Chains A and B, each alone.
Chain A
Amino acid sequence: MVWSRPVHPSLLLAENSSSPGASHSGAKLIDALLPASAAGIIELLSPVPPGWGGTLLLGLLHSIEIAVGATCLGLLIGTCGAYGKLYGGPVVRDLLAVYTTVVRAVPELVLILLLYYAGTDLINQLLTAMGYQRIDISGLVAGIAVLGFVQGAYSTEVIRGAILAIPQGQIEAARAYGMSPGLLLRRITLPAMLPFAIPGLANLWLIATKDTALLAVVGFFELALATRQAAGVTKAYFTFYVAAGALYLMLSLFSNLILGRVEAWSRRGMPSVKEAR
């Protein structure tokens, strides 16, 4: 097997930039590149068409959309999964154990590829088998489904732990009042488990925002892919990746701020963590 030796992109760039008579002077080269710094960066990142800022922001919007959708789907799967693991029959419990173990042991990148191809393929085969036309599944829906499936495994464990942390007397008391399971879930279990689940779920939200970047590998347009396109066209790799990193970081920090408030709200009326220690 002969492998083509991976060539670093910088080499290509170096050859391009050193071609017009810059054979001996590095200083000239730097002079040629530096004016592009201050004014050029602003121009590159400006949100109107010659700049690529708008593309990046659109990518960020898509990333946030997917992260929100995946987290919601993950919460739904997680709640059902936690209920199945805690109260389900032996078969349901074992199947859920397989689900959470496998998803947490296989890299997200592999899962995304596998579910992306398998999922779209399966749906299309089902449709053709039932006599419908094949459909093109939008990247948004596929991305949300795939990431949601992955998030579901993690949130199953988080929510299961949170439900176990509720003093069992509360649930027993609710049963003794004759509450139906639905009412019990809505009035007692979900609100009571929230303070225990929020830190873990907050972590999962942050992971979801970062995992959206992996969808770039299957060609879905979000922040990472937008950055890659912008950097590829303008050759300003460093600028654009730093800009994308800054956008992701801002999203994370902003989420932290909001999630801190949500956690404080969910713990209202409970002794503070610091006092308990």
Chain B
Amino acid sequence: MAGEATVINVAARTSLWLQPHRIVLILIALALVLGAAFFMRWDWLPQYYQMGLVGIWRSLWILAVTCFLGFLLAVPLGLAQAAGPFWFSAPAKAFCTVIRGTPLLIQLWLLYYGLGSLFPQYPWIRESWMWPYLRQAWPYGVLALTLSFAGYEGEVMRGAFAGVPKGQLEAARAFGMSRWKIFRRIWLPQAIYRALPTLTGETVLQLKSTPLVATISVIDIFAVSSKVRQDTYLTYEPLLLLALIYMAITGILVFAFSRIEARIPNKIG
């Protein structure tokens, strides 16, 4: 039965793509792509593709690290706002408001140029083990992107924690679970299920924020494309390819998250 359903599904999907106007549109798109491939200059590609791969890798790495760390930070932020006493919830709310109310570019520059210019005044920082890292740009980029993700996701997690039905927590307490166990087994998993659909969107937004680190001299894929533009005086080719790369990464992310979401029971709460 299941096999039959998938066959019908696939047939329906292909027939959706094979409507006459779509065929024409696809042909036009193909013509545009081929025209771009033949009439634009792509001879710089062999020279730069290795650098581009490193750049893509660095962008993805920054994305993964900042999303992971940001999410870890968002859980306590959300919990503090949803259930914490005033002296926990107020700072958490203030943090989220400040992060969400100011542009990421300003946060990034504040950390890199602002905070970075304060550090060398203190000799104990210059002599500490952190100094070799603080001299580079990427820790500031990672920190800014992490805080930004935590700020936005903290707000989402607040709603997710608050949205878990009281009955679930009361039942867990009636089972005699400790507070930590209730949090670990009941509250957090259900909150994450609730937050997951928005998590996809937030991760895509985070991906779209990563090129900002190029403004503080981290060499990600955006910086590589800027370098190509400077070296070859081409305007469109590197930017178009860059847009294509970001679209491909977005597509992969959305697909991966939809697979993860499909594995989660949708009857919650």
Q: Which residues of A contact B (CB under 8 A)?
A: 1, 3, 6-11, 13-14, 17, 26, 29-30, 33, 90-91, 94-95, 102, 104-111, 113-114, 117-118, 121, 206, 210-214, 216-217, 224, 227-228, 231, 235, 237-242, 244-245, 248-249, 252-253
Residues of chain A with a CB closer than 8 A to B21's CB = 90-91, 94
Number of contact residues on B: which range applies?
Answer: 35 or more
Task: Produce 1/0 per residue, B197-239, CB < 8 A to A.
Answer: 0000000100111111001011100100000000000011001
Which among B74-82, B170-178, B184-192, B243-251 touches the partner chain?
B243-251
Flag whether B136 is at the interface (Cβ < 8 A): yes
Tell me the bound Cα distance from A6 to B236 in angstroms. Answer: 26
Contact (Cβ within 8 A) B242 A6: no
A110-B243, A245-B107 given; A210·B137 CB < 8 A: no
Known: A9-B116, A118-B236, A239-B114. 12 other contacts (CB 8 A): A17-B120, A30-B121, A105-B204, A105-B250, A107-B210, A107-B222, A110-B246, A114-B236, A210-B103, A224-B103, A248-B102, A248-B103
Residues of chain A with a CB closer than 8 A to B135's CB = 7-8, 10-11
Contact (Cβ within 8 A) A114 B106: no
Q: Is the interface of B mostly helix, strand, loop or mixed?
A: helix
Flag whether B8 is at the interface (Cβ < 8 A): no
| Smallest CB separation, A184 vs chain B (Å) | 27
Contact (Cβ within 8 A) B106 A29: no
Contact (Cβ within 8 A) B98 A238: no
Tell me the bound Cα distance from A105 to B135 in angstroms. Answer: 33
**Contact partner, B114, options A7, A206, A242, A249, Cβ 8 Å:** A242
Tell me the bound Cα distance from A30 to B117 in angstroms. Answer: 13
**Contact partner, A237, options B105, B117, B136, B204, Cβ 8 Å:** B117
Task: Produce 1/0 per residue, B123-161, CB < 8 A to A.
Answer: 110100000001111000000000000000000000000
| Smallest CB separation, B114 vs chain A (Å) | 4
**Contact partner, A3, options B134, B211, B219, Cβ 8 Å:** B219
Residues of chain B with a CB closer than 8 A to A30's CB = 121-122
Contact (Cβ within 8 A) B119 A244: no
B75-114 contacts to A (CB < 8 Å): 97-98, 100-107, 109-110, 112-114
Task: Produce 1/0 per residue, B31-52, CB < 8 A to A.
Answer: 0000000000000000000110
A90-B19, A91-B25 given; A245·B113 CB < 8 A: no
Residues of chain A with a CB closer than 8 A to B242's CB = 110
| Smallest CB separation, B193 vs chain A (Å) | 20
Contact (Cβ within 8 A) B208 A1: no
Flag whether B115 is at the interface (Cβ < 8 A): yes
| Smallest CB separation, A128 vs chain B (Å) | 17
Residues of chain B with a CB closer than 8 A to A11's CB = 120, 135
Residues of chain A with a CB closer than 8 A to B251's CB = 105
A118-B236, A121-B235 given; A9·B113 CB < 8 A: yes
Residues of chain B with a CB closer than 8 A to A106's CB = 208, 243, 246-247, 250
Q: Is the interface of A mostly helix, strand, loop or mixed?
A: helix
Task: Closest A residue to B207 by CB, please name it.
Answer: A107
Residues of chain B with a CB closer than 8 A to A10's CB = 116-120, 134-135
A118-B236, A235-B117 given; A210·B104 CB < 8 A: yes
Residues of chain A with a CB closer than 8 A to B247's CB = 102, 105-106
Residues of chain B with a CB closer than 8 A to A253's CB = 97, 101
Contact (Cβ within 8 A) A33 B121: yes
| Smallest CB separation, A4 vs chain B (Å) | 9
Task: Closest A residue to B140 by CB, please name it.
Answer: A8
| Smallest CB separation, A17 vs chain B (Å) | 8
Residues of chain A with a CB closer than 8 A to B134's CB = 8, 10
Residues of chain B with a CB closer than 8 A to A228's CB = 109
20 residue pairs A–B, Cβ–Cβ below 8 Å: A1-B50, A6-B218, A7-B135, A8-B134, A10-B116, A30-B121, A33-B121, A106-B208, A113-B239, A117-B236, A213-B104, A213-B106, A214-B105, A227-B109, A228-B109, A231-B114, A240-B114, A252-B101, A252-B102, A253-B97
A26-B121, A29-B121, A105-B247 given; A248·B101 CB < 8 A: yes
Tell me the bound Cα distance from A212 to B207 in angstroms. Answer: 19
